[in-house]
Amino acid sequence: DVKVTQSSRYLVKRTGEKVFLECVQDMDHENMFWYRQDPGLGLRLIYFSYDVKMKEKGDIPEGYSVSREKKERFSLILESASTNQTSMYLCASSFEGGAKLFFGSGTQLSVL
Partner 1 sequence: GQNIDQPTEMTATEGAIVQINCTYQTSGFNGLFWYQQHAGEAPTFLSYNVLDGLEEKGRFSSFLSRSKGYSYLLLKELQMKDSASYLCAVRDRYNQGGKLIFGQGTELSVKP
Residue 40 is a binding residue for partner 1 (CB under 8 A): yes
65, 77 in Cβ contact below 8 A?
A: yes
Which residue stretch of 17-25, 32-40, 62-70, 77-85 sits at the interface with partner 1 (rule: CB under 8 A)?
32-40
The β-bridge relationship of strands 107-111 and 10-13 is parallel
By the rule CB under 8 A, 41 interacts with partner 1: yes
Asked if residue 28 binds partner 1 (CB under 8 A), the reply is no
How far apart CA 30 and CA 93 sit, in angstroms, is 8
Binds partner 1 (CB under 8 A): choice among 12, 100, 110, 112: 100
By the 8 A CB rule, do 45 and 60 touch?
A: yes
Q: Write the burial class of residue 101 (CB in 10 Å: 0-12 exposed, 13-18 middle, 19+ buried).
A: middle
Using CB under 8 A as the binding rule, whether residue 45 contacts partner 1 is answered as: yes
Residue 71 in contact with partner 1, rule: CB under 8 A: no
Which residues contribute to the site for partner 1 (CB under 8 A)? Answer: 31, 33, 35, 40-45, 48-50, 56, 58-59, 90, 94, 96-106
